Chains A and B, each alone.
Chain A
Amino acid sequence: MNPTSVSAVEWPPAAGPVQRAGLYAWVSTVDHKRIGILYLLTALVFFAVAGLLALVMRLQLAQPNNHLISPEAYNQLFTMHGTTMVFLVGMPMLVGFGNYLVPLMIGARDMAFPRLNALGYWLFLLGGLLLYFSFLAGGAPAAGWFSYAPLSEAPYSPGSGVDYWITALLILGAGSIAGAVNLVATVLALRAPGMTLRKLPLFVWMSLVTALLIIFALPALNASIIMLLIDRQLAASFFRATEGGSSLLWQHFFWAFGHPEVYILALPAFGMISEVIPVFSRKPIFGYEFVAGSGVVIGLLSFAVWAHHMFTVGMGHPAETFFGLASMLIAVPTGVKIFNWIATMWGGTIRFTTAMLFAIAFILQFTIGGLSGITFTTVPADWQTTDSYYVVAHFHYVLIGGTLFGTYAGLYYWFPKMSGRMLSERLGRWHFWLSVISFNLTFSVQHVLGLMGMPRRVYTYPDLPYWGSLNLISTAGAVLSAVAVLVLLWNVVASLRRGRLAGDNPWEAWTLEWAATSPPAEHNFERVPPVRSRRPLWDLMHPEAPDPEIRSPGRQDNLPLERNVVGMWCFILTEATFFLMLIAAYVYYDLFVVGGPDESHVLDRKLTVIFTVCLLSSSATLYAAERSLRRGWRGGFQAWLALTVVLGAVFLLGQGHEYWDLLHRGVDVNSSLFATSFYTLTGFHGLHVLVGLLALSVLFWIAWRGEVRPEREEAVRSLSLYWHFVDVVWIFVFGTIYVVGPAL
């Protein structure tokens, strides 16, 4: 992002592509604002669907011994409700806001990779539809949103529901990772001049941390569901204890993703609140550094505490004690944020708009959810409350009182920017009070039910004292919640048609998005205002009393990063995490499982060493090719590139030979856990080599036609980064399987 590269870039023709109208314009769009709105609308539809599923569940639970729906249907409902709310509502809702707002807030014209952005949305839609198609294909998944093994294994979930669940989640995961890579590249490479990292609006900060969490956490999920898919489709036994596998490993892998996921859902809402509260308190945020920094700390901590979801599986007292203590620590950075928000309001001129009301409700309700969360870190208390309605109450306070109320605050705050019209404040107040009352009615009593011993995920319950009446209260609250959502929908539709016109900056806010028109033009800004402090529009409106300038210490605030390289690095990090999980699984089965063919008997190490040398030297030849390109020596570039392709192909042939040999000797995918994990790990690596090889071949073809010029070097550089990465992964894979493995 250095100024020279900005000025060196050629401006595209002003009009851009031909303006299309109507539905086709939406389907074919690569504009971050339209994609953002598509995300939000689709998430809203899924929100309504998942809400209806919950309503049916609540009606079934309204009285004891009820038979409105069957137990099988009930299992499908809670599985679909959870999966939908997490993957099809929570994440896309926040991605949608991020997509719409982040480029505007940092003064960029669009996301770093607009087409990838569109791909992310369509993958999301495809994944969502596929998940719901399972209803037509013989029954939805019914193993809960975390699909615990062995319940989710073929013998216990024989239908195709779990397969749909896996496929949908893989597609959704790919879409989320694409979105996260894009967001990181946008924030790191496309900021307007002056918008240094330390001046980023807090919503952008939290979105950045969230994107990094997605990059590191989603591959854990992808690795585990791929292993589950291999179990189900190829009759392997990664997670089947009866066949020597480990159901416990599924829980470790799933929660290594699942716990960061909680913060993926919470952090963007933190960011929204941090934008809304200062504007409606007419004060700058109190302790910007602490709000941003504690977000980073929460992100890092979230990877170290996943085992607190597993206090009842028998990990042993030492592990439980350590993870209980570590989990308590999360309360510290979260508490820091709460105090910052309160201190921001303190002494401010508070305007109680609907957005602000929801932000205040967020603080109160999220704190309640956080406090009940801390009770779980006391291990013996967790033993009593786990899998009871107390847990249900806890995470709904976090996800509705926290994430959803935060998102509502964001919606009322940014709706005028997106649509050009204000949402009705009168209806907004109805919506607010109905939401708060109904939400607390539904879930506060569930704390009590849980402590009285009512387990979650039961389709009905016996007529024990108070259970019936408390459940009835909860159901009444759920019905009222549906009314609240209807009020919101009515408000949105009515305001879109005849709401008050908003103007550019209806709230007198201070961040860059309010400098654009409402709704913003396709290219966002004619000119971006100068950014010298964290409140550029305040400085513009109050030249007599501007904020103190935030100077840039050193170059790190403003690294000259190139988006292709940032994007490739993010992709490499996420892939590296994926391979890390597979290698961990390999080592795990190597250590714990005996029986069946194992590596010391069946693998031919010498032959593999030869192929390894080929693959590793291909990194050197590719480096030589890059050097030739930099020096403008076209022939050398082509020759080195061709050699790279040949060496990569030799490696793949070698791997093919090894597979052929093993299969002939009767070592099948499901012969033993060694065989399954061997084929999984080397197979995925081989797939990556193949993809790299195809890309290199395309590059060679382009070079052959003489179309690779030294100016296009960074495209070649990102591809060679990928190739080097694949080689480095092989060093680890080779070391694990052929060197360390036999010794363990």
Chain B
Amino acid sequence: MRLLAVEDNPDLVRMLGRLLEDAGFAMDHAGTVEDALLVLRSGEYAAVILDLGLPDGSGLSILREMRSWGDKTPVIALTARSAVADRVAGLACGADDYLVKPFAPEELVARLQALLRRTGTIVDQVIECGNVAFNPASRDVEIAGIPTILSARELELLDVLIRRHGRVVPKPAVEAQLFGLDDDLGSNAVEVYVHRLRRRLADAGASAQIVTVRGVGYMLGERPEPRPAA
């Protein structure tokens, strides 16, 4: 799978190349707005990693240009500014995700995979969180290497949570996945299924757990290792 990195810092380009190669991607790169537009017109890329601060202009102009000619390639914007205004502008211009420098390399890879999964570029891949593995295509679940049977609703719940594991999934999104939009659901319907799945995971010896962020939603994450003494 080929990605394009639009980034002007040669060191970062080299490190990105190594990182993405390790993650199973091939990477081309462009250092300027001009080059990027040229390359994007000719090549087919699974995703674009786009630095917003380029020597000859803003990455946002590339994004706008791409979208204007109908290129729907998923784009992760990188910025050195934490400004929410930048993020809003980026998303408004059609960026699919957004990372602020300095970012953890694994975060970039995770976001890329999530993005490709969401856009259907990655389909067959098994999603893993700790020792919990989920195959979205076959809907098979393995916990600690042992195939586990879950009920349909439990599967839906695991599906929505594991696709965005490590991040909080808002409760409305969970509800929509579990019940569709039409179902009339009780006030604690989601809690019931979360409770069930949580117990199933624990019983099967999963190293991942569902945590409740009360007032916001749920998150599937690996159990924290005991904190090393600082």
Q: Do A and B bind each other?
A: no
Q: Which residues does B use to contact A, with CB under 8 Å?
A: none
